[in-house]
Amino acid sequence: MVKDDGLEKWVALEERVRAIKGNNLYDPMKATEMCLVPNIVIPKKFRVPEFVNLSEVALTWYMHLDNTKETGWKDLVDAFVGQYKFNMDIALDRSCFHTLEKGRKESVREYAQRWHEMEAQVNPPLLEKEMISLFSNTFKAPYFEYLVRSFAQNFSNLVAIIERIE
């Protein structure tokens, strides 16, 4: 009876291991192909940081890199900059805010958030006074008349004033 009980436990344990492994879904050969740097040894306790998350396009680009050409970090950095340098060339500047407008169905808060996300991409960064001026100038009547007379000290103060006007 003890032998049967031990065998049952063994079979149950094997089933659990198979379930965890995913029925041979893990193929060590395919895993090594995914690594750009050959013969890399990953420590047992290594945890992938959460910030390492490539978009689908960037991941596809990375997976198609030739590991015979990119043999170290400098090669990888050079390849990455070569691939994505255009993003720096088309960076936002102060002039892009002149044509920006609040959408009809967009709340002031939603518009301010969208505007602020764009503003964060401008280099060099906008000064607080520039932000207030550029953001105020994107509004039309009746907002603009009130905003000309307002004395907003910072961007969030200006958003609160506009919300009150709305």
Percentage of the chain with pLDDT > 70? Answer: 75
In a domain, 142, yes or no: yes
The reply to whether 66 falls in a domain is no
- Nearest CA-CA partner of 156 in 117, 124, 125, 113: 113
Instruction: Give the pLDDT of residue 135.
Output: 87
In a domain, 8, yes or no: yes
Give CA–CA dist 47/50, Å, rounded.
Answer: 9
What confidence score (pLDDT) does residue 53 get?
62
Segment 64-74, tens digit of pLDDT:
888 777 777 78
**Do 163 and 108 contact (CB within 8 A), yes or no?**
yes
Distances (CA, A) of 164 to 93, 105, 157: 29, 17, 11
Virtual CA dihedral for 20, 15, 24, 48, nearest 10 degrees?
A: 10
pLDDT at 29: 47
- In which residue are the tokens 């808060």 written? 109
Domain presence at residue 81: no
Whether residue 43 is contained in a domain is answered as: no
Decide: 148 and 156 in contact? Cβ < 8 Å.
no
pLDDT classification of 110: cutoffs 50, 70, 90: very high
| Band of pLDDT at residue 113, cut at 50, 70 and 90 | very high
Q: Examine residue 43 and say whether the peptide bond preceding it is cis (omega within 30 degrees of 0).
A: no
- Quick: pLDDT tens for 123-153: 788 888 888 888 888 888 777 777 777 777 8
Q: How many domains does the chain have?
A: 2
Residue span of the structural domain in which 27 resides: 1-34
Q: How confident is the model at residue 35 (pLDDT cuts 50, 70, 90)?
A: low
- Rounded distance between C-alpha atoms, residue 139 and residue 147, angstroms: 9
